[in-house]
């Protein structure tokens, strides 16, 4: 009996030692797992922080790009408006050059026709010459009057040019250059008497709605209201009317750009 009890006690002691060792190994493994988990959490936290920083950098870059695009859009819009204005001036100069060429051609044709005619010589009568006053010089033609007025305007003689254009309108009320002359009269008032300029621009648009000057005059009405009289509401109304009545004109594109700048 004593032998069997000793064996059982020894077996129990061995089992107890084995159980205690297993527990320690399990505890060690748990600690290792915890340390590994903490390390992985730290890595993930660092990676997450890096991703957040990258995301913020992307957002900042997008904001900067949008701002740059807005600046470029505004710059290109201004440049486009200036280019369109210059194109209008070039078109005006081209039309004036064509008219001047027509005047020169007409003068050359008249001279050639006069040279083909043979005039018989006459003996001057000194008595008649003394009694008869010298004939008055020939009146200026419509083209000469218009061209001279335009040259004065370009030289900066605004008042002289205005009077010349007004004389042209009185003497040649049905001439094809009447809309242009009325337009330049309106231009001459723009800085000193903007209300008078608007009234005359309106007259051009009303009397010659199909003429190329009509859309330009309506644009100038809006421009004077905007830049000289500082009346944004009336300027906006004029630009909108221009876009509605003359949607295919060059001035309609200019009016759209001006409306963008007038947005509240």
Q: What percent of the chain has pLDDT over 90?
A: 45
Measured between alpha carbons, how far is 78 from 261 in angstroms, rounded to an integer? 10
Q: What is the pLDDT of residues 181-190, one digit of tens each?
A: 999 999 999 9
Q: What percent of the chain has pLDDT over 70?
A: 66
Query: What is the DSSP-derived secondary structure letter of residue 118?
Result: P
41: which 2 tokens?
């959490």
- Please, which pLDDT band fits residue 26 given cuts at 50, 70 and 90? confident
Average pLDDT of span 39-45: 77
Q: Is the pLDDT of residue 262 over 80?
A: yes
**Average pLDDT over all residues of the chain:** 77
Q: Highest mean pLDDT: which of 26-30, 49-53, 140-144, 189-193?
A: 189-193
pTM for the whole structure = 0.50
In this predicted structure, which of 34-48, 125-139, 217-231 has the lowest mean pLDDT? 125-139
> Do 173 and 148 touch, CB atoms closer than 8 A?
no
| Domains located in the chain, CATH noted | 141-261 (1.25.40.10)
In the prediction, which pLDDT does 35 show?
Answer: 77
Number of H helices and E strands in the chain, helices first, is: 9, 0
Q: Is the pLDDT of residue 37 over 60?
A: yes
Measured between alpha carbons, how far is 252 from 79 in angstroms, rounded to an integer? 16
- Please, which pLDDT band fits residue 130 given cuts at 50, 70 and 90? very low
Query: What is the DSSP-derived secondary structure letter of residue 4?
Result: H
> Do 251 and 218 touch, CB atoms closer than 8 A?
yes
Measured between alpha carbons, how far is 9 from 114 in angstroms, rounded to an integer? 154
Measured between alpha carbons, how far is 112 from 72 in angstroms, rounded to an integer? 59
In this predicted structure, which of 3-12, 107-116, 235-244 has the lowest mean pLDDT? 107-116
- Please, which pLDDT band fits residue 133 given cuts at 50, 70 and 90? very low
Q: Is the pLDDT of residue 129 over 70?
A: no
In the prediction, which pLDDT does 5 show?
Answer: 61
Q: Which of 242, 193, 233, 254 is nearest to 214 (CA)?
A: 242
Q: What is the pLDDT of residues 88-120, one digit of tens each?
A: 666 555 545 555 554 454 444 445 444 433 333
CA 21 remoteness from chain centre: 87
Q: Highest mean pLDDT: which of 76-80, 112-116, 242-246?
A: 242-246
- Please state, in angstroms and as integers, the Cα–Cα distance from residue 13 to each residue in 4, 62, 119, following that order: 14, 73, 158
Q: What is the pLDDT of residues 151-188, one digit of tens each?
A: 999 999 999 999 999 999 999 999 999 999 999 999 99
Which residues touch 215 (CB under 8 Å, ≥6 apart)?
242, 245, 246, 249, 250, 251, 252
Measured between alpha carbons, how far is 166 from 181 in angstroms, rounded to an integer? 8
């Amino acid at each position: 009996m004593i032998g069997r009890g000793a064996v059982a006690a020894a077996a129990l002691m061995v089992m107890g030692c084995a159980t205690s060792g297993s527990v320690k190994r399990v505890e060690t493994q748990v600690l290792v797992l915890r340390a590994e988990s903490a390390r992985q959490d730290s890595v993930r936290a660092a990676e997450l922080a890096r991703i957040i920083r990258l995301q913020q950098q992307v957002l900042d870059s997008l904001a900067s790009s949008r701002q740059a695009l807005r600046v470029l859009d505004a710059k290109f819009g201004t440049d486009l408006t200036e280019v369109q204005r210059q194109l209008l001036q070039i078109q005006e100069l081209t039309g004036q050059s064509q008219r001047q060429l027509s005047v020169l051609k007409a003068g050359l044709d008249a001279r050639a026709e006069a040279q083909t005619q043979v005039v018989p010589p006459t003996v001057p009568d000194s008595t008649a010459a003394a009694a008869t006053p010298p004939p008055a010089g020939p009146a200026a033609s419509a083209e000469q009057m218009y061209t001279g007025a335009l040259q004065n305007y370009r030289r900066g003689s605004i008042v002289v040019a205005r009077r010349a254009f007004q004389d042209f309108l009185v003497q040649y009320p049905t001439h094809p250059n009447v809309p242009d002359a009325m337009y330049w009269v309106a231009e001459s008032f723009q800085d000193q008497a903007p209300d008078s300029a608007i009234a005359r621009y309106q007259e051009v648009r009303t009397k010659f709605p199909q003429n190329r000057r009509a859309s330009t005059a309506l644009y100038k009405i809006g421009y004077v209201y905007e830049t000289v009289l500082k009346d944004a509401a009336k300027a906006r109304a004029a630009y909108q009317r221009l876009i509605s009545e003359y949607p295919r004109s060059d001035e309609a594109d200019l009016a759209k750009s001006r409306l963008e700048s007038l947005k509240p």
